[in-house]
Every structure is written in structure tokens, then in C-alpha cells.
Structure 1
């Protein structure tokens, strides 16, 4: 069996969760020795499609016509499309209908969590749906003092400066508004947001937050990868992710793998795999401030339990799970 992993518009999506997810798929399949290609012109038996554009639809149709099996990856839902780009809430019902065309045409769907599986089933999709985590490369996020120092040097942080980090696109859905409000309530702490979105496609309110309506202790660092970002994951004092909706959250897995202290919004996506033994949860600004103060003052010690969650989603395990799904779909 040979698999085609397909990502349309790779240059545009490489900074997104979907772009990182296909990198994880490649790594996972490499670890278990599963043959795959990323070239649609190669021979293959099954195509695993990660995107929803015209080329993806054309590839799906061509593969189906040739009698090959097609898996769509359920990275996206109507729920996580809302509160993102300009006009996203108005377009969300149409986006859901558009997604469903892909999901109904596929032989099966892979989606990161039981929560996102439930959402897609709720759209009336009757194809087999398998919940398989995006996975995490544990070795990449192991604590490294040189990376942590690179992070502190990059931002000019003293050894005593408390630092809270987040990573995500510039979306209200990601909680960027409350990230800034929490920072305003904690002026003694440095808050750093990694990641970016083209400012032309985000609402005016979000552009204002990023460009000028934030306190002096907040830094919007843009898209940074490598030693600085990985050093931030393990070298910050807390990872604060106030996202209102996720299908999993790869950055959460990265923070868990870094043995970082996490403060998360209490939303359904974490149910069944991440609970209060591995992270602090809150639902509003006072709750976030209280949880962060608890962490920063040394009153929370959940790193080991959190790391165990990351271990359960290690790349070798995900590779085996993907192959199991591929084999099941080949028999449909």
C-alpha cells in the first residue's frame, strides 16, 4: 500500500495548523515505515487529502474515478471557521455546506479528536470517521537550555522576568482579545504572542489590538520557528491559550511535550484527553488571571501529568494509528 499525502496551497498554509499537521503525518509515517508520496503524479493506492480547494476536489474526483480510496482530513469545521477572517461569521453556514461536499464524497474521514468527530457527525455525514490526533514530536520539544537562552536573548528578557506565551493566528476565536486584557491586569508579567495573520483579512478590531491597542507588556512577535520558539515553549513560565474553539490544538501538544505549565480555556475539545490533572482551566478573565498567578507563584505542578498526555500522542503511536485507518479504508 502506498499513500499520497496531499496539501494544496502549501506555501500559503505552511504557517497554519493544517500545514504543520501534514508535516506531522510525514514524520509519523516515516517512523513506522509506511510508503507515501506527496506527488499526485506518482502511483498510489490511497490519497489522504488535507485541504478543501479546487485542486483537492479535482484530485479527489480523479482518484475516485480511478477506483482509489480517498480519506479527507477533518481539520476544519463550521465552528472553528467562525470569529476568524473578515466576514467569517456570515459565511460560516456556507462554509459548512462546502466542507460537507468533501466529507460526503470521501470514503472516510480522519479528524483529530472525538469532539471534532462529533461535530462532523452532527452535520449528517455518514462516512466512517476516525479520531486520530495530529501527534507531537516529543524529542523536538524536550527542554534545551541553549534554546531557552536563545529565546530570552531574542526578546531581551532578564533571568527574573516572568513570561507568559501563546501561539496562534490573529483571530478572536483564538482569544487574542482576552489575552491582551489578561496582560493588562498583570503589568509585571511579559506576554508574548507567537504567530501572525495577514492584517488585510482580519477584522478592524483585531488589527487595532495587534498594532496599537495593547499594553506595553504585550509583544506580538510574528511567525518565529526553530530554537527561539522551541526555547519559548520550555523556557516561558506559562503557556496561556485562551482559544474559544479548536479541533485539537497542535500548540497545546507542543506545550505539553515541553513540560510547560498550561492555562487553557475550559472548552469541549479537551474532554476525554486533557483534564485538570495536566493543565489549569478557566473560563473568563478573572479566572485566567487567578490561574496564571497560581502558576507563576509556584502553586501548580502539573507538568508530568501533562507530559504523559503528550506521550500518548507521540509520533510513533500516531503513525501506527494512521496505518490502521488506511488498512481499514482499503478494505471498504
Structure 2
């Protein structure tokens, strides 16, 4: 391992820095430091193995160039046709083409890494027979230790008193993220403040989603935009619940962040969580009324899942991920 040098590659970093993929590569950097593996993010540097996180033309050219030079290529399976749908304008029409395009990438690589068994199985159903390793995106537990000062910063930022019930979510402005149900649940709970962290360029999201964000939502909903640091970290532990009604994920880094914050978590019961998040660790529901009931249970002090949830986050700690990544790199070098 001492002699191995890895190139971590993220095309279009400027545009992806606020997304899950942008966060994932930061986790990879941290994991490699912990594992003591030499790495670079500059494709002009020398390296033995490239770990590609994106699917653009430059990524394709890099893969071909690396393989020509006899270097190993790992593609990160962050994306599937399923999680491409219900996102940007035209994404549903383009989804079959996107799948075909992804498969070309995935099939050409020496190996794939996906964050969950669910995403691995999906990619295999596409007919991709490249070796696939499951490694979580991981979570830096030390960053999400509940902190009273950060929690006060969060409440002050949104003018919330200590007694105001507040439910948060974090995600892009996509239908896939469950933004419609988020607003419907808030409508049924006017006594609770609902705050959505995250944003997407308004030009690329469908008109009906744009309308929800700009004016078509109840007064108790705030679309806060992209906020990081003390306000967001304070919200993660200081809110009453983290409600994530997403319809499709390959893992959900924000879910790990909420679990690491010892937060009450309400999720849509979808296949990606099967096998690692059960109803011991989070409130799971599938309908608006189910979400309302779950949130109310939490507000009434009748839900006791935080500790089990934290154990899930612990099992995906960045320290564990660093060992798994090192192991995968070693195996791929030997392929």
C-alpha cells in the first residue's frame, strides 16, 4: 500500500460542490488521509489508480488515457437511472439515455464502488458485470457532536424560541427528494416550523417545483437555501426532527449526518434503507398521514430511536470507510 498513489477525480467540481457527490469526494480525501494513502486531485500528477466520481466527457477521456497507460480505473456509482428521474427539467425523458450512457462508463471501468447494496443491485440489473464493491460514503462523527452553541446559533438565525417545534430537511429542489410531500405535511401541521436546507438553480427545475419554492407553500415553511457550518450543524442536532421524504437515493449522506447528530429521523420507507436502517433507528412511513403521525410522535416525546440511529452512523464512520477503501484499492490493483 505504501507505494500506491490514487487520483481522486471530480469533473465540474464548481457545480457539484453543494451536492452529495461534492460531499462524497471530501469524505474520500479524509478517508485516504486516515488510511495513509498518498493521493492527488490533479490529473497531470503521476498516479497508479484513478477513482472517478463523475460522468462527463473529461471523465471518459481520463478513463481511456489511464487505461492506455496501464493504470487501474474505479468508477464511483453515485448515480442510477432511478435517482436521475424527477430531478431537472427533462430528466424523465432523458433517463433511458442517461442509463445507457452510465452503463458505458460502468462497463469500461476495472471496478465500481457503490454506497449501498441497493445501488449495487440496481446497477447489476442494468447488465453491468464489472466487479462492484459496496463502501458507504461515510460520516465524520466528530463534526456532528451536538453543540449547544451551534444549536443556539441555528435558533437565533431563524428567530426561533427554545419552545418552537421545528422540523428540518436537506436536499436539492427535486421532486425526487419528496419536496411535494414535505409541503403537504407542513400544511397539516401549522403549529410546527418546517425548514428546508439546500437549493438548486431555478432555471433547471420544473415550473411546478419552482412554484412550490417561490410562493406555493404554507407560511410555516422556510426554504433557507444552501447553508453550511454552525447554522446547519446546529439545526441537525437542535431541531426536533429531521424529515427526509426522498423517493429514491443511492445512500443519502444527509441521513447519515442526521443520525450522527443523534437526531430523531423520519424517512420514507424505500428499498435503499433496507438492511441498515430499520424502524428501531428511524421513524419510517410512506404517506403524508404516516409522516404527520411519525413527526407528532416525536414532538409528543413518544419516539425513542436516537441511540439506535447513532449506532447506524457509527457503523459507517469515516475511520471504517478508510479501511474499506484501502482494501478495495488493494484488490483492484491486483485485478
Q: TM-score, normalised by structure 2?
A: 0.99
Q: Does 1:177 align with 2:186?
A: no
Q: Give 1:279's aligned residue.
A: 282
1:302 lines up with 2:302 in the alignment: no
Structure 2 match to 1:314 = 317
2:222 alignment counterpart: 219
The answer to whether 1:205 aligns with 2:208 is yes
Aligned-partner Cα distance in 1 for 2:260–2:173:
24
Q: Secondary structure at the match of 2:175?
A: coil
**Deviation (angstroms), 1:76:** 0.1
Aligned to 1:147: 150
| C-alpha deviation, 1:34, in angstroms | 1.2
Which residue of the partner structure matches residue 231 of structure 2? 228
TM-score by length of 1: 1.00
* Among candidates 250, 259, 264, match of residue 261 of structure 1: 264
CA deviation digits over 1:223-245, x for unaligned, max 9? 00000000000000000000000
Report what 1:73 is aligned to.
76
* Aligned-residue RMSD, C-alpha: 0.4
Does the alignment pair 1:53 with 2:56?
yes
| Counterpart position of 1:116 | 119
Residue 294 (structure 2) aligns with: 291
Q: Is the aligned partner of 1:135 residue 2:138?
A: yes
* Unmatched 5+ stretches in structure 2: none
The correspondence for 2:96, drawn from 82, 93, 97, is: 93
Total equivalences in the alignment: 332
Q: C-alpha offsets along residues 107-126 of structure 1, whole Å, 9 cap, x if unaligned?
A: 00000000000000000000
Pairing 1:242–2:245 present: yes
Q: Which residue, out of 31, 44, 47, partners 2:47? A: 44
Please report how far the alpha carbon of residue 172 of structure 1 lies from its aligned counterpart in structure 2 after TM superposition: 0.4
SS of residue matched to 2:276: coil
